[in-house]
Chains A and B, each alone.
Chain A
Amino acid sequence: AQSVAQPEDQVNVAEGNPLTVKCTYSVSGNPYLFWYVQYPNRGLQFLLKYITGDNLVKGSYGFEAEFNKSQTSFHLKKPSALVSDSALYFCAVRVGAGGYQKVTFGIGTKLQVIP
């Protein structure tokens, strides 16, 4: 079974400060890890993914995430937060490369960037 934990229900950060949204995972096998963002009443937008290779992955809107195999973590980061980054963020994991394989999501972390 695969699972994802997002330990923080909400993260508050001042505009211009660095932000981190935490994610840990549990899988049997090599994980494919993803971050998505959701704005109110909208679907999910893909931010970035880790498949293999460099542990530091860069994605959309200046976000990046670091894959840490020993800690089974995949924290989302951004050097300087914007008010427009305020949204709901989901970490997700899939075991296997196939698009037919289901993705398991964390419960989501609400990011609030304070002007």
Chain B
Amino acid sequence: GAVVSQHPSRVICKSGTSVKIECRSLDFQATTMFWYRQFPKKSLMLMATSNEGSKATYEQGVEKDKFLINHASLTLSTLTVTSAHPEDSSFYICSASPGRGTEAFFGQGTRLTVV
């Protein structure tokens, strides 16, 4: 199947700093990628839809100025958590679909810990 790579897999940062997470589709082009946040023992919460060459579409309640999304190419989307706080600590996962009628493929996830 198609491969989506996410980096880093784990990151620890100090409160107030910013962290960038990358999501790459390795063997297909993705005009659309999705960013999810997963809380402990909870389902995936869709944060935003990342659109290549245009602004991301954020879900209700997600701060767009805090979670900056850039989809500069057909194979790369980045999520930057700005001015991170301990409550931003979570598991962040991206996904993309190779094309019409296909399932979504997920990155390995990034465990963010803000101390």
Contacts and interface: CB of A to CB of B under 8 A. Distances in A.
Interface of A: 32, 34, 36, 41-46, 49, 51, 90, 97-100, 102-108
Nearest to A98: B100
A73 B76 CA distance: 35
A71 B99 CA distance: 29
Contacts of B97: 98-100
Interface residues of B, number: 32
Contacts, number: 64
Nearest to A104: B46
B104 A103 contact: yes
A103 B43 contact: no
Nearest to B96: A99
B64 interface: no
A104 B103 CA distance: 12
Contacts of B30: 99
